[in-house]
Amino acid sequence: MLRLRKTRWKIAYIAIGVGSLFVFNGGILSHLLPDPIYAVVANLLTVLLYFVGVRSFRGAGEPIEPPRARWRMTSRPRAGFVIGSLLFLSFADGVFVAISGPSDLKFASVLSAIVDATLAFFYFRSSILLRREPPQTVEEAPHWKQIRRQPLR
């Protein structure tokens, strides 16, 4: 499986993934599928984007080859708490839209709120477990050659 370690590649994955979801969900799926099926497919694609990212991203010092533990969502606890908090805010927004929004958006809002709450739970759980069990690290290879100093003559 693909392993992304550099921050620029992770940002590119997120930008391309979110942009593709926006175009695909807003431009294509909404016109091809009826409303309840559209909401299910859109949320499945979002979960797929998260799943591939979680399995592919690697933090500094994290082993590349072995797969992550199934419960592990990030390389460090702080990242999981930040992402979990953002997902919790998205969950709260989905609940607010489901309660006060138009009736035709209720199913999609409730479904996306459930997905966001589930993902937030997984990220929070991962961060709590990472705090208990320090992450396994490997020695980083230097990215540059060491300079050999020659004695003065």
Determine what percent of the chain is predicted with pLDDT higher than 90: 42
Residue 60 within a domain: yes
The answer to whether residue 1 is domain-embedded is no
CA-CA distance, 120 to 91, in Å (whole number)? 9
Domain presence at residue 46: yes
* Residue at 54 is within a domain: yes
Q: Which domain holds residue 108?
A: 7-132
Does residue 141 sit within a domain? Answer: no
* pLDDT reported for residue 39: 86
Tens digits of per-residue pLDDT, 69-108? 889 899 889 999 999 999 999 999 999 999 998 888 889 8
In-domain check, residue 146: no
Q: Is residue 140 included in any domain, yes or no?
A: no
Residue 147 included in any domain: no
| pLDDT surpassing 70 at residue 134 | no
CB 111 within 8 A of CB 40: yes
The domain tally of the chain equals 1
pLDDT at 123: 96
Nearest to 75 by CA among 17, 10, 13: 10
Nearest by Cα to 54 from 65, 36, 68, 43: 68
Taking the C-alpha atoms of residue 68 and residue 55, their distance in angstroms, rounded to an integer, is 7
